[in-house]
Amino acid sequence: LGVKKSTLDKYSAVSYETAKEMAEGIARTSNTDIGIATTGIAGPGGGSPGKPVGLVYIGLCIKGKTKVKKFQYPGNRATVRKRAVMSALDWIRREITDK
């Protein structure tokens, strides 16, 4: 997806910066107006005090303008993943319908 190694080294794979570059990268490599990407810690392991299980960043790039949102979802791995997908799709819907 074109995430710079320096971004991963400095911020890690679960970060605002990585989600931003992922969304931009998918839009660029797919040659589309919209790119969306998620990165996070769905669990059950892998969390830390600074990045707990349930932390998700969603990046959305529309026509070269990128925004990132941070979420903290409760629940097990399946629940975290499902909620992240639902949030991402809802965000796209709201952005393209201006609601």
pLDDT per residue as tens digits for the range 44-66: 999 999 999 999 999 999 999 99
d(CA 72, CA 53): 8
Distance between CA atoms of 92 and 46, rounded to whole angstroms? 28
Q: In 34-43, which positions are buried (b, 16+ CB within 10 angstroms) versus exposed (e)?
A: ebbbbbbbbb
Name the band, by pLDDT with cuts 50, 70 and 90, for residue 99: low
Q: Is the pLDDT of residue 25 over 80?
A: yes
Domains parsed from the chain with CATH numbers: 5-97 (3.90.950.20)
Contact 84, 73 (CB under 8 A): yes
